[in-house]
């Protein structure tokens, strides 16, 4: 057990990120169509193909999942993965020239995380968002081993006033492996009043505890941080689980 989503056999994960725009894409690709369900919460969720997963509907399996930053612009990643999977022959058979890949997606809001480089997210028809290109990079990187933290869909995420990111966990219950992967872009503090992470007691090998500060480094929390992004407003708390 590696505490990864891919501890469940038959799943591959790939990440890609744009350093300038501080955003990214994560793909989850099952090696065969997989049963899926969804729960959408919050006042402004951003999703694609989630209604298709309702149990009363025709489609019961998916061909891939997309998590992305970029708010609504990030949904382009699912469109590109649909083309990739359809060209590979994956998808719901319709009798047409191509099958219809079922690619649900969910996005997070990371649009104002680089105030010093606003031009990086001034997208237009002449300067399109990077999510289609990132999808190809993430697809090429898909495998059973993948990085956690400041990667993929979590590259531009925040957790209150701290850096968010991408996390993963797995557990063996009798003969069943349960695993999860989450892009954390949460509202509110992840620390208690003493500055300790609420979830530090759950961490393995001290991963949830703060690192010891290096010597001769300013105590100003912004002085030595490259990824302490500021936000002028916080959108409604949204949570989509697929």
Is a pLDDT exceeding 50 seen at residue 234? no
pLDDT at residue number 95: 86
Burial of 8 (0-12, 13-18, 19+ CB in 10 A): middle
pLDDT at residue number 222: 37
The predicted-structure confidence for 145-178, as pLDDT tens digits, reads as follows 999 999 999 999 998 888 899 999 999 988 999 9
The predicted-structure confidence for 17-64, as pLDDT tens digits, reads as follows 999 999 999 999 999 999 999 988 888 889 999 999 988 988 889 999
Task: Specify the CATH number of the domain 5-234.
Answer: 3.60.70.12
The answer to whether 34 and 28 are in contact (CB under 8 A) is no
Q: Report the chain's mean pLDDT, rounded to a whole number.
A: 84
Burial of 137 (0-12, 13-18, 19+ CB in 10 A): middle
The answer to whether 24 and 156 are in contact (CB under 8 A) is yes
pLDDT at residue number 219: 43
Q: Which residue has the higher pLDDT, 219 or 111?
A: 111
Domain boundaries, the chain: 5-234
With cut-offs at 50, 70 and 90, classify the pLDDT of residue 195: confident
């Amino acid at each position: 057990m590696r505490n990864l989503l891919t501890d469940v056999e038959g799943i591959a994960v790939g990440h890609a990120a744009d350093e300038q725009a501080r955003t990214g894409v994560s793909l989850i690709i099952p090696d065969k169509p997989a049963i899926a369900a969804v729960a959408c919460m919050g006042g402004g969720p951003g999703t694609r193909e989630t209604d298709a997963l309702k149990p009363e509907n025709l489609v019961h399996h998916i061909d891939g999942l997309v998590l992305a930053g970029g708010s609504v612009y990030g949904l382009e990643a699912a469109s590109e993965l649909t083309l990739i999977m359809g060209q590979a022959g994956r998808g719901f058979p319709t009798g047409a020239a191509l099958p219809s890949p079922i690619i649900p997606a969910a996005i997070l809001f990371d649009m104002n995380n680089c105030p010093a480089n606003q031009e990086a997210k001034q997208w237009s028809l002449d300067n399109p968002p990077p999510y289609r290109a990132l999808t190809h990079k993430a697809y090429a990187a898909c495998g059973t081993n993948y990085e956690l933290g400041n990667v993929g869909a979590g590259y531009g995420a925040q957790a209150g006033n701290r850096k968010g990111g991408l996390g993963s966990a797995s557990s063996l219950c009798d003969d069943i492996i349960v695993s999860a992967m989450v892009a954390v872009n949460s509202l509110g503090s992840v620390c208690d009043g003493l500055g300790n992470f609420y979830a530090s007691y759950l961490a393995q090998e001290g991963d949830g505890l703060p690192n010891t500060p290096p010597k001769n480094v300013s105590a100003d929390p912004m002085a030595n941080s490259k990824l302490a992004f500021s936000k002028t407003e916080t959108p409604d708390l949204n949570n989509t689980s697929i």
